[in-house]
């Protein structure tokens, strides 16, 4: 669970997910929804 302000939560998620994995997830989501 992430605590704090929403900006801080995004920072925590960003620190927890490796950039390459985050890019792949973003690509998959964009293909699914757009």
Burial of 34 (0-12, 13-18, 19+ CB in 10 A): exposed
The predicted structure's pLDDT at residue 28: 92
Tens-digit pLDDT profile for residues 1-34: 656 777 777 777 777 778 888 888 889 988 888 7
C-alpha torsion sign, points 11, 2, 15, 10: negative
The predicted structure's pLDDT at residue 2: 59
């Amino acid at each position: 669970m992430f605590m704090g302000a929403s900006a801080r939560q995004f920072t925590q998620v960003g620190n927890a997910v490796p950039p390459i994995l985050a890019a792949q997830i973003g690509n998959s989501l964009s293909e699914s929804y757009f």
